[in-house]
Structure 1
Amino acid sequence: MNFEITFNTKWSDFDPNRHMRHTAYNDYAAEVRVRFFQAHGLSITEFAKLNIGPILFKEETSFFKEIHIGENITVKMELEGVSNGIERWRFNHQIFNEKGELSAEIKVYGAWIDLVKRKLTAPPQKFVTIFENLPKTSNFKKIELRKKNL
């Protein structure tokens, strides 16, 4: 089952070349992640109660087709990788134009941060169920964590 959202693009998403500005693609990918978490009981308010938040280590965007002013887009999100305790994760987002053509692919690699200690942390157990329900890419892999040197 895919997790996808269709968006009406807005004027501020576009640049003087009359196509979607490069950072708008990443903004829509982030919005899809937030909406997925919210739909599964992890609203911004819930994150605040838990003193935890998602952070990105890497964000990689590949562009394939232009999106023009006035076009609506569909953004699909899948889980590409996750560690056993859900400490680290990798999402793949695909952005499609109105014709259904793949316009961009965004891959993000991240983790969770304890907002009080300002250190990486493992999320509560309820996150495991949420991640189990995420659609997975065909190349989904478990992420192995490196042990800290003592």
Structure 2
Amino acid sequence: MTTYAKHYPIRWADLDPNGHMRHSAYNDYAAQLRLDYLTDAGFPLAQFAKLGIGPILFREDTRFLKEISPNETIKVDAQLAGLSPDGSRWRIVHTVYKQDGRASATITVDGAWLDLRQRKLAVPPVELATALSQLTHHSTYGEIERRPKAE
């Protein structure tokens, strides 16, 4: 399993009028990290276009712990908190760390894959499901069960 993390410098555009990182910037960095991970795992955006699928979110829960100031460099990591057997549903927990190493926020996202042509949920190629399964498992990891369609 792989612990995936990257460092990002805080930009002027990341700040709010209070002089610290704005709330939505935390989620932007978590999203960027997910895309970076998928690219590094062999699934850049162009590959998703060829496959006709893309990631979507059902839920995004952010817990703010410590403020981030201008000119800090943050670290963002990703851990897998859940995956369905076919790889179609997933949960990822991100931790955003201040430059001094203290946790600043946790972001939990629940997502799936969308067939971009049919506009329906899709099962990803095995290689993509395998790539996700290679992330370090979070302490809350559990298999995600697919819910049957409502009739």
- Aligned partner of 2:20 in structure 1 is 19
Structure 1 unaligned runs (5+)? Answer: none
- Aligned partner of 1:89 in structure 2 is 90
Q: Deviations over 1:28-82 (max 9, x none)?
A: 0000000000000000000000000000000000000000011110001000001
Preserved CA contact (<8 Å) 2:83 2:133: no
Task: State the identity %.
Answer: 44
Q: Deviations over 1:86-105 (max 9, x none)?
A: 11000000000011000000
- Aligned partner of 1:127 in structure 2 is 128
Question: CA 1:123–1:18 in structure 2 vs 1: closer, same or farther (change >3 Å)?
Answer: same
For residue 148 of structure 1, report the CA deviation from its aligned partner. 2.1
Structure 2 unaligned runs (5+)? Answer: none
Q: Which 4+ residue blocks in structure 1 deviate beyond 3 angstroms? A: none
Q: Deviations over 1:7-33 (max 9, x none)?
A: 111000001100000000000000000
For residue 2 of structure 1, report the CA deviation from its aligned partner. 1.3
- Aligned partner of 1:111 in structure 2 is 112
Report matched runs for 1:37-56 at 5 Å: 37-56=38-57
Preserved CA contact (<8 Å) 2:88 2:129: no
CA–CA distance in 1 between the matches of 2:133 and 2:104? 28
The aligned amino acid for 2:43 is: L
CA–CA distance in 2 between the matches of 1:67 and 1:146? 38
For residue 128 of structure 1, report the CA deviation from its aligned partner. 2.5
The aligned amino acid for 1:60 is: D
CA–CA distance in 2 between the matches of 1:20 and 1:128? 33
For residue 125 of structure 1, report the CA deviation from its aligned partner. 1.4
CA RMSD of aligned residues (A): 0.9
Preserved CA contact (<8 Å) 2:79 2:137: yes
The aligned amino acid for 1:61 is: T
